[in-house]
């Protein structure tokens, strides 16, 4: 992944990764999300520029959902058909709001 951009809007954290989330960069991605979570009630992952997500990236989504604790607090937006298939097959889509 070449970058992951974060924006804060009140109690919402918007995270827009670019490229790939895999074992090589998932820890840094998790750190970036964790550092911005304080006081947030919602996280929106905008996957418009995400080409691939591995199981390590999926763990970041799951950890974010657990950290927020509220059902539907994690939103996924603009996911490609391939990424949506991964979220559906792994059943993670049922724990998130898909936009």
Encode pLDDT of 26-75 as tens digits: 999 999 999 999 999 999 999 999 999 999 999 999 999 999 988 889 99
Q: How many residues does the chain have?
A: 99
Pair 69, 40: CB distance under 8 Å: no
Domain count along the chain:
1
Q: What residue numbers bound the domain in which 49 lies?
A: 3-98
Arithmetic mean of pLDDT, 74-91: 96
Counting Cβ atoms within 10 Å, is residue 66 exposed (0-12), middle (13-18) or buried (19+)?
Answer: exposed
Q: Which residues, including other chains, have CB under 8 Å from residue 57's CB and lie 6 or more apart? A: 20, 21, 22, 26, 29
Q: Which residues, including other chains, have CB under 8 Å from residue 20's CB and lie 6 or more apart? A: 1, 50, 51, 52, 53, 54, 57
- Would the pTM of this model clear 0.85, i.e. be above it? yes
**Reported confidence tier of residue 93, pLDDT bands at 50, 70, 90:** very high
**Reported confidence tier of residue 2, pLDDT bands at 50, 70, 90:** low
């Amino acid at each position: 992944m070449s970058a992951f951009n974060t924006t804060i809007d009140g109690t919402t954290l918007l995270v827009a990764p670019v490229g790939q989330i895999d074992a090589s960069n998932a820890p840094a991605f998790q750190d970036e999300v964790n550092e911005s979570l304080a006081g947030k009630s919602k996280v929106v992952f905008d996957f418009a520029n995400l080409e691939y997500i591995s199981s390590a990236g999926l763990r970041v989504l799951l950890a974010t959902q657990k950290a927020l604790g509220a059902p539907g607090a994690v939103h996924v937006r603009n996911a490609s058909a391939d990424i949506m298939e991964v979220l559906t097959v792994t059943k993670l889509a049922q724990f998130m709001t898909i936009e």
